[in-house]
Structure 1
Amino acid sequence: MNDNDVPLWRLHLLRAFYLLITVGLTLSFGPVMLQHTDLWAQRKGETASLVSGLAILCLWGLRYPLQMLPLLIFELIWKSVWLIAIAYPLWRGGAMTPAVEETAFACAMGVVLTPLVLPWRYIAHHYFRKPGQRWR
């Protein structure tokens, strides 16, 4: 399977998803990255930097939607892990706060939408069936 086997509508859908991620993360984290307190930087700085970097890389997905698929796979994985390892135990223990509920909703939306956008046959071919690159 090569790049031309992925329908044009799927490429446009991927581009729209990359743009959605970029805009969403920029609106969420952009303002606080420019103006923040030292306490915020100590508690949330790493997370904000990571997702800001992800937003910037997603811009390349507009031009190279298939080559940047690992970003969307990463999005699906980290959100799934967060929901299972963080949100679910908090929910079971009755310790959900409004901020955690908001994050859980956003992550759940990502876990639901991302698999609908991903070209699974292309991913299966290029990341599972295709031989890996040589080690020596």
Structure 2
Amino acid sequence: MRILHLAPASLWSRAVETGGYRGSSRNQSLEEVGFVHASTARQLPDVLAGLYADTPLDDQVVLVIDVPTCDSAGSSVRWEVPADSAQLFPHIYGPVPVSAVVAVLPISRQADGRIVMPSLAGLRVLDDPPAP
């Protein structure tokens, strides 16, 4: 089972050096929020439209995260409904181990504002949250 996280490329580079990713969501850290926000493949476009509509994406990357690897490293993944949503989202309670990131994918925005999503083919990313 794999999930996604939009990360500033600079924070991902730091994570590679330190062994764990500690970002959470736009301009917030794991320490500030308490968990790392993540999404499924179908949720990511809505997250981008809602939280990153006014932001260039040139300095962002999409992390493909293996849930069992996070769980076994002590950074448990819980499916929760945020206060501003009606659907389950994955939250990672602890730093994302670099070993749990199976792919780092580019993402960009065209001049007309449309987002160019990376291909997730063959990466076994969940499309939807698991059934409760």
With the length of structure 1 as denominator, give the TM-score of the two structures. 0.24
Larger radius of gyration: 1
Greater helix percent: which structure?
Answer: 1
Greater strand percent: which structure?
Answer: 2
